[in-house]
A and B are shown apart, each in its own frame.
Chain A
Amino acid sequence: MKTISDTKVQSLEKKAKAIRQDLINMLVEAGSGHSAGPLGMADIFTTLYFHTLRHDPKKPNDPNRDRLFLSNGHIAPVWYATLAHAGYLPKKEMLTTLRKLGTRLQGHPHKKGLPPIENPAGPLGQGISQAVGYALAAQMDGKKFETYCLMGDGELDEGQCWEAFMFAGNNKLHNLTVIIDRNNIQIDGDTEDVMPLASLRDKFEAFKFHVIDIDGHNMRDISDACNQARAIYEKPVCILAHTIPGKGVGYMEFDYTWHGKPPKPGREQDLALCDLRTLGGALCSEHE
């Protein structure tokens, strides 16, 4: 099990900051796409790809690699940015081709040509079922790798998610770790206004999951929770990652209207990049 040093935490925080900056630039370049979710999940993606996951960009098809499924496909830009930083694709491609004709970086992900991507996602609820099926197949064959599935909280409105959770709990898929981006927003407003999810802990526990609540911007929390999840052999684990939508960009934070649009070039882009530069300390005050 990997423990995490202060130095590592600091380097992860720096990496997350760079990923956020690239996110802003790639979204501006694309001219459409989602901002709030990707910014909010940057710390989790960073910790996963630069600390937690067992993977090697030089061997993207390594059969023993940990698998990551993204169920809320619309936050793909943070995945692409992280993969580029990890060395899976050129940074230039990441910054310039998102959502453009002929790109590997589809508006919603497709596995074609980009090996770390396991599943097509877009219509919500579909990624989790695929992750569950994958984890089950791996369990049948006695494989040791972990299958992660990242999901949104608004996504949990979909009935299919609960079909999949029931199945995962019932099949004791201990090799499955679900990470929920609990940012409390969806397109039409706050999740608790649109369709209240109330206590997700209670719900997941009722579905036979082990549940861990974390601060989704604290690298140590993220890492510890993932370690704990890997160690649990009785049941699947759900990490409820409490995050701030739009994290790092002042005018986007907590504002659901930034769920599905990119910053405009010029003032919005500049302001966002400026926020990300100066908020560097605030983001990781505990360790700097």
Chain B
Amino acid sequence: MNLNKNLFTKKEEHIPTRNGFGEALVKAGKRDERVVALCADLTESTRIHHFKNAFPDRFIEVGVAEQNLVGVAAGMAHYGKIPFCASYATFSPGRSWDQCRVSVAYGENNVKIVGAHAGISVGPDGATHQALEDISLMRVLPNMTVIAPCDSHQAHAATLAAAKMNGPVYLRFTREKTPVMTTPKTPFKIGKAQVMREGTDLTIVATGPILYEALMTAEILAGNKKALAKLLERYPDIAQNVKKSKLHGHSMERAKETTQWTPVKIKKKIDEIGKLNIEVINVHTIKPLDHVTLKRSAKKTGLVMTVEEHQIHGGLRAAVAESLSLNYPTKIIPIGMPDSFGESGKPMELLEKYGMTAPWILQNILKTI
């Protein structure tokens, strides 16, 4: 797998996945004049404004009306256009799910539904704007393809692939600048999971930019000093902020355990675990799922962990569990949103508080192995 050579170095780049989408959509528009873009009053933040500037006649403003957004897109697709309709994931497919179900999926209309600002890392806007249920909502729909790219390059590739593919696609993007893990040359094929790192002791399956935390953990446990340095850069600041914040709901018990991360404590955990050879799989396509790659890896390592910026129910974990329960029953440790709503905060603080960062992954490995 072509990993980015700058990963975990000082030159590590951070770009939002939505940027990759915005640029690729213009390219898709140049390649195929049937491509049109629709937006529900969020043109710039969904990055669809690039398309609007390039092709003003093929951009459609729908206003704050997500149900109509998806319905109009379905009608345009039935006509023969290739519509990309964008909003925040909490609004579409959040509010427009019935339209996604009937007008798009049941109607077999070639619509690309773009959910931006997904995950808890959208941050200060708070729980209402943090889509943590969208993978689940979309993967239950027949005819729907569900893609959550891990970085901007992959978002770019996924957008072009979605434009080329005939059929409904859900594309999940995030707001924050996140590490660039792949290169423009990294192969991308819808439905084909990527083994980012081979290993024998444990399989971590991740989707979206949170893949970085999994890769980081794997590298640290393989003795990569640069990865460890990158992780420790964040502490103790984040941990202190989380510690000071009010703990509530389902997150409380888990957060209490490890909100006191310090570089010393993290290093101690790593020493306790010792060296591990972890396989990391990037499941950018949650549906259709790559059963073969998952089975092969589970057979090799015998233990699986899923990492997602999504509720631990119904999303990646559920998809992997459904697959392995049939093909190679394996214990699965879930990392994700612990059946809880989020709150306002900085992206890393939230990921930390709700248990989705590398120290949490370490903690869970230690508990299990």
List CB contacts (< 8 Å) of A115-139 with chain B.
118-123, 125-126, 128-138
Q: How far is the CA of A237 from the CA of B76 in the complex (A)?
A: 20
The stretch among A84-92, A162-170, A194-202, A219-227 that forms the contact with chain B is A162-170
Instruction: Mark each residue of chain A from 213 to 256: 1 if its CB lies under 8 Å from any CB of chain B, else 0.
Output: 00000000000000000000000000000000000000000000
Contacts of B77 in A (CB 8 A): 133
Q: How far is the CA of A36 from the CA of B79 in the complex (A)?
A: 32
A110 within 8 A of B: yes
Contacts of A160 in B (CB 8 A): 65, 67-68, 71, 99
A111 within 8 A of B: yes
Query: Secondary structure at chain A's binding surface: helix, strand, loop or mixed?
Result: helix
List CB contacts (< 8 Å) of B60-79 with chain A.
60, 62-63, 65, 67-68, 70-79
A140 within 8 A of B: yes
- Nearest to B73 among chain A residues (CB) is A133
A102 within 8 A of B: no
Residue among B74, B98, B108 making CB contact with A130, cutoff 8 Å: B74
Contact call A118/B78, Cβ cutoff below 8 A:
yes
Contact call A163/B79, Cβ cutoff below 8 A:
no
Contact call B57/A133, Cβ cutoff below 8 A:
no
Contacts of A128 in B (CB 8 A): 71
Give, as a whole number of angstroms, the nearest-CB distance from B32 to chain A: 14
Contact call B79/A138, Cβ cutoff below 8 A:
yes
Contacts of B103 in A (CB 8 A): 119-120, 126, 129-130
Q: How far is the CA of A78 from the CA of B269 in the complex (A)?
A: 70
Contacts of A130 in B (CB 8 A): 71-72, 74-75, 78, 103, 107
Q: How far is the CA of A93 from the CA of B75 in the complex (A)?
A: 28
- Given A122-B102, A137-B80, A137-B81, A131 and B65 contact (CB-CB distance below 8 Å): no
A266 within 8 A of B: no
Q: How far is the CA of A223 from the CA of B216 in the complex (A)?
A: 70
- Nearest to A130 among chain B residues (CB) is B75
Interface size band for A? 20 to 34
- Nearest to B85 among chain A residues (CB) is A133
Interface size band for B? 20 to 34
Contacts of B36 in A (CB 8 A): 137, 140
Q: How far is the CA of A123 from the CA of B106 in the complex (A)?
A: 12
- Given A134-B79, A160-B67, A129 and B74 contact (CB-CB distance below 8 Å): yes
List CB contacts (< 8 Å) of A9-41 with chain B.
none
Residue among A119, A129, A136 making CB contact with B67, cutoff 8 Å: A129
- Nearest to B98 among chain A residues (CB) is A123
Contact call B79/A164, Cβ cutoff below 8 A:
no
- Nearest to A69 among chain B residues (CB) is B75
Contact call B60/A119, Cβ cutoff below 8 A:
no
Give, as a whole number of angstroms, the nearest-CB distance from A37 to chain B: 19
Contact call B72/A136, Cβ cutoff below 8 A:
yes
Residue among A110, A119, A123 making CB contact with B75, cutoff 8 Å: A119
Contact call A132/B72, Cβ cutoff below 8 A:
yes
Give, as a whole number of angstroms, the nearest-CB distance from B139 to chain A: 20
Contacts of B81 in A (CB 8 A): 137
Contacts of A138 in B (CB 8 A): 79
Q: How far is the CA of A133 from the CA of B58 in the complex (A)?
A: 13
Contact call B72/A110, Cβ cutoff below 8 A:
no
Give, as a whole number of angstroms, the nearest-CB distance from A130 to chain B: 4
Instruction: Mark each residue of chain A from 175 to 194: 1 if its CB lies under 8 Å from any CB of chain B, else 0.
Output: 00000000000000000000
Residue among A121, A122, A166 making CB contact with B65, cutoff 8 Å: A166
10 A-B contact pairs sorted by A residue (CB < 8 Å): A122-B102, A126-B98, A126-B103, A129-B67, A133-B73, A133-B79, A159-B67, A160-B67, A160-B68, A163-B67
A sample of 9 more A-B contacts (CB under 8 A), given A132-B72, A137-B36, A160-B67, is A119-B78, A119-B103, A122-B102, A129-B99, A130-B75, A132-B68, A137-B81, A138-B79, A167-B65
Q: 7 tightest A-B contacts by CB?
A: A129-B71, A133-B75, A133-B72, A163-B68, A130-B75, A163-B65, A137-B79
